[in-house]
A and B are shown apart, each in its own frame.
Chain A
């Protein structure tokens, strides 16, 4: 799952500007398509809906409406164990804006059938909806923030969407490009490269060469 991807952990405030600076300075960002602030999901009017208050890391009070609680495992468990939902989300990605984005996104998708967290087949099979392409048309950095947030809240629904979106963004890139984008060093030894290629031959294209020298 996403938590396995090391670059997602941008949970330290000091790290965030570095990420952002790095991303904005990258030439190759052009190839990621036009930068777009993303369209905000339609903020629903939560009239008559029960909501739960949460404080974001930047001090905002965010309301979680009742219908999405079951989509967010952390909140679901908290209610089960504590009988109440409240707290402060202290990680860096949990800004008021990000949290609100996640809430709005979930509200907009609240009528979709729920997928069991353990049902990996279904999670993989679920495809991005046309509106997702619009909603999640944000910078890779933003996408990474959302994923960090979703991971923190154990919201697999939102996490999967973001991860899929990220994958879409990366899928035409070569290994070299990816390494460039994220500033990774190739720490694989020749032996490992061969092993990986052997294992993943079915999905690699001829252009996907691991360049040990890069």
Chain B
């Protein structure tokens, strides 16, 4: 990366040159604005919820039909992930991870 020096430029767009406190003659180009684009996804190993077989980025089947609240993802200590609502239904019957059969301990819940 050859671009090493930093121009400190104000956020407001207009008076770029005047507020620049460094010499600019030998720096032909200055960044003015950046409209970035990023995509987010759940940080998971497997894209699909093993319980409802729906993609984790989509709402689980139950939430699809109710179209009410946000349908988030839950991770267990075993690092397997499922729809949170699917998992909470699941553990009423069986407190084990459906994939690895280890005891289910919630590691984190997505938001």
Direct contact of A and B (CB under 8 A): no
